[in-house]
């Protein structure tokens, strides 16, 4: 089974407040115009290919749009997706719900009621998730799932990893609560780790144009992206080694 999953974060909103405001976050905030152009090209691409993106589950040849963090621009994003008949996966870090720049509870419920999938992006979005103890990881997933399910009155079965740092305990603790685990590695073929399905995603940043997204859909540069990712992970590991445990 093959699929493509695009990993987005936020749009640049008029007030400039949506999502996290730390330095690196700005490189993941697309202008609304660029985002609309990308979605339009996705729509045209899948209209001509055997792809589809209107399903609420992962299936062969599916194109998935995913959005991390739960910034307040998510409802604008949902409007744009829906205008092309698409649904999205919205992953929420629950300790930020209702804070300045983030969705509140009724807005999260609205996303769900409009047919989108709401998942967990941990509770507190730890900067280095892989450095947490097993119990703290469990706590992050469980708390977030409980909060989302109390808002939605619906079972939340998908999560995405904050920070993108793949880690065995991160996956196995998520497997205690969820069925689908979205990571930031550029895989296009899902695989099981224990009882949880691991789904790779290709990250889209503000400098990426619709042409880049089309290349992703056509699987161009996937090997190059994989190599870049491996190098990034090595650098991150080296950097974290000198920082000590997060918790």
Element (H, E) at 134: helix 134-152
Name the minimum Å distance from CB 24 to Zn ion.
10
User: Which CB sits closer to Zn ion, 20 or 35?
Assistant: 20
Q: How far apart are CA 208 and CA 164, in angstroms?
A: 19
Name the minimum Å distance from CB 178 to Zn ion.
16
Q: What does the block give as tokens for 28?
A: 């993941």
Name the minimum Å distance from CB 7 to Zn ion.
10
Name the minimum Å distance from CB 141 to Zn ion.
14
Name the minimum Å distance from CB 218 to Zn ion.
27
> How crowded is the C-beta side of 176, counted as CA atoms within 13 Å?
16
User: Which CB sits closer to Zn ion, 165 or 217?
Assistant: 165
Select from 35, 184, 202 the least CA-distant residue to 121. Answer: 184
User: Which CB sits closer to Zn ion, 69 or 217?
Assistant: 69
User: Which CB sits closer to Zn ion, 9 or 116?
Assistant: 9
Whole-angstrom CA distances from 145 to 94, 138, 149, 154, 171 are 9, 11, 6, 10, 15
Q: What does the block give as tokens for 94?
A: 């629950």
Query: Which residues in this chain contact Zn ion in the complex, by CB under 5 A?
Result: 68-69, 162
User: Shortest Cβ contact with Zn ion: which residue?
Assistant: 68
**Helix ranges, 153-184 (H):** 168-174
User: Which CB sits closer to Zn ion, 68 or 140?
Assistant: 68
Name the minimum Å distance from CB 234 to Zn ion.
21
Q: How far apart are CA 82 and CA 112, in angstroms?
A: 13
User: Which CB sits closer to Zn ion, 46 or 183?
Assistant: 183
Q: Give residue for tokens 């998942």.
A: 119
Q: Are 178 and 196 a contacting pair, CB within 8 Å?
A: yes
Helix or strand or coil: residue 2?
A: coil
**Bridge partners for 202 per DSSP:** 6
Name the minimum Å distance from CB 209 to Zn ion.
23
User: Which CB sits closer to Zn ion, 4 or 121?
Assistant: 121
Q: Give residue for tokens 């144009």.
A: 209
């Amino acid at each position: 089974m093959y699929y493509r999953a695009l990993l987005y974060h936020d749009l640049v909103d008029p007030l400039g407040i949506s999502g996290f405001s730390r330095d690196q976050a700005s490189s993941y905030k697309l202008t609304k115009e660029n985002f609309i152009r990308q979605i339009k090209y996705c729509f045209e691409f899948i209209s001509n290919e055997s792809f589809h993106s209107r399903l609420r589950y992962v299936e062969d040849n599916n194109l998935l749009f995913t959005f991390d963090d739960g910034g307040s621009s998510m409802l604008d994003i949902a409007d744009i997706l829906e205008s092309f008949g698409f649904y999205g996966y919205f992953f929420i870090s629950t300790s930020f719900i209702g804070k300045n720049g983030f969705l509140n509870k009724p807005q999260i419920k609205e996303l769900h009621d409009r047919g989108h999938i709401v998942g967990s992006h941990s509770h507190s979005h730890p900067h280095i998730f892989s450095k947490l103890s097993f119990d703290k990881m469990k706590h992050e997933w469980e708390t977030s799932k409980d909060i989302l399910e109390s808002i939605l009155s619906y079972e939340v079965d998908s999560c995405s990893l904050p920070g993108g740092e793949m880690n065995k305990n991160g996956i196995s603790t998520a497997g205690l609560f969820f069925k689908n685990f979205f990571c930031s590695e550029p895989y296009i073929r899902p695989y099981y780790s224990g009882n949880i399905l691991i789904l790779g995603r290709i990250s889209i940043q503000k400098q990426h144009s619709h042409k880049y997204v089309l290349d992703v859909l056509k699987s161009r540069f996937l090997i190059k992206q994989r190599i870049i990712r491996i190098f990034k992970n090595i650098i991150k590991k080296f950097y974290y080694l000198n920082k000590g445990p997060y918790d």
